[in-house]
Amino acid sequence: MRSPDRPPGTTASGVRESMRDRLGDEGVAVATVVAVEGSGYRRPGARMVVDPEGTHRGSVTAGCLEESVRDIAARVVTDGDPRLERFDLRDDAVEGWGLGLGCNGVIDVLVEPLDASFGPALAELEATRPVTVLTAVGSTDPAVDAGDRTTLTGAGRVSPGRDPLPEAVADAAERRLDGTDADVAARLSVGTDAGEVDVFANRLVPTPTLLVFGGQADADPVASLALRAGFRVRVATARGGRADDGRFPDAVDVRSTHPAEVADAVDAPAYTYAVVMSHNFVDDRLAVAALLDTDVPYVGVMGPRERFRDLRESMDRTLDAADRDRIAAPCGLDLGGDDPAAIGFSVVSEVVAVHNGRAGGRLTDLEGPIHDRSEVP
């Protein structure tokens, strides 16, 4: 497996890679949005890595707070103590930051040193396993300080480099997360015998993968745009097709394979989305059948409905309701345009929407908040 150019720093995958690269380095801080009241450009869980020179990777807003966060980061790495900062960005703000930027929101940002406590979560995500991080962001219990952290891994609870949360607090937070969606970033108030602990509960899922089956020119913009949308990209061409690394520089894995064996390129089915676009009828049919034998949640098929109808009828299996729910044929959103770049935007946009559990409609037609709010009972 090769490494493509670094993922864009504005994506979660780019931020995670930066954290892995700098883990253990002195003078590096991480800023995390832990709560948003009203409107905010980024949701809770958004992160920014700040190095000693003040440069950053990632973002916590559209750019209006980055300079202030860099200043706070410099102080945090000097004294070593995490710090929770509240930014009031409403027009009528008269106290606190009072920046009057018109975002109509109040944003709480936790700034902390990039220390060993981040290691377990980064390792779990690299191994394509979900992980939950519980961090105290405030406490009236004298036994708990801001920054105390417990990470819930598949192997158990760990707290390297930080004091752990009390077992009772971690137990209560874990119980409240049971049954919630895999991707959660929410603040929980947990009572103890000595006070209240404000916990930021962040359940993280591995970076999603887009698997492209096809090697024609129109696969290039799909691979490139998927990387920039935060996906890990893998490309499989039909056996005999060009599959050298230079052909798809945005992919972590480029291979030539028999269409019936394309599932060998799926290493994390629950977090993999596949697009079949070889433009060869037989190869596409074999690839679709192979992918449906995995647990990938989405199989997009390029081409008109009539072609897919013929493809479906020529398959050796009858598609059940679960199969039909996973297949998008033709794949993509209705954006108009028929050149390769426009098609790439259409396909990747649908994959992003599916990954986020959204329908992909126009925001101007949407009632209520643009971003879902993480709600934990």
Assigned superfamily of 209-355: NAD(P)-binding Rossmann-like Domain (3.40.50.720)
Identify which of 237, 240, 298 has the alpha carbon closest to the alpha carbon of residue 269: 298
Provide the residue-wise pLDDT of the chain in tens; the chain has 377 residues.
555 655 776 789 999 999 999 998 999 999 999 998 876 778 899 999 999 887 888 888 766 778 888 899 999 999 999 999 998 877 554 444 445 455 567 889 999 999 999 999 999 999 999 999 999 999 999 999 999 999 999 999 999 999 999 999 999 999 998 877 678 899 999 999 999 999 999 999 999 999 999 988 899 999 999 999 999 999 999 876 666 768 889 999 999 999 999 999 999 999 999 999 999 999 999 999 999 999 999 999 999 999 999 999 999 889 999 999 999 999 999 999 889 999 999 999 999 999 999 889 888 888 777 766 566 65
Q: How far is CA 365 from the centre of its chain?
A: 25
Structure tokens at 95: 């106290």
Specify the pLDDT at position 52.
87
Using omega within 30 degrees of 0 as the cis cutoff, is the peptide bond preceding 130 cis? no
- How far apart CA 114 and CA 213 sit, in angstroms, is 38
SS (H, E, C) 93-114: CCCCCCCCCCCCEEEEEEEEEC
This prediction's pTM: 0.88
Residue listed under structure tokens 């993922």: 7
Residues in the chain: 377
53 burial via Cβ count (<10 Å: 0-12, 13-18, 19+) = exposed
End-to-end CA distance of the chain: 42
DSSP string spanning 273-286?
EEEE----HHHHHH
In the chain, list all ranges with CATH 3.40.50.720: 209-355
166 burial via Cβ count (<10 Å: 0-12, 13-18, 19+) = buried
- How far apart CA 331 and CA 118 sit, in angstroms, is 38
Beta-carbon neighbour count of residue 195 at 10 Å? Answer: 13
Using alpha carbons, list the distances in angstroms from residue 245 to 213, 220, 230, 236, 354.
15, 12, 20, 11, 28
- How far apart CA 341 and CA 337 sit, in angstroms, is 9
Using alpha carbons, list the distances in angstroms from residue 126 to 13, 169, 331.
10, 27, 29
Specify the pLDDT at position 68.
87
β-strand 56-58 against 156-158: which pairing, if any? unpaired
Using alpha carbons, list the distances in angstroms from residue 76 to 36, 71, 110, 119, 154.
22, 9, 10, 19, 31
Structure tokens at 85: 């900062």
DSSP string spanning 168-226?
HHHHHHHHHHTTS-SSEEEEEEEEETTEEEEEEEEEE-PPPEEEEE--STTHHHHHHHH
The phi, psi pair for 191, rounded to 5°, reads: -80, 145
- How far apart CA 114 and CA 222 sit, in angstroms, is 34
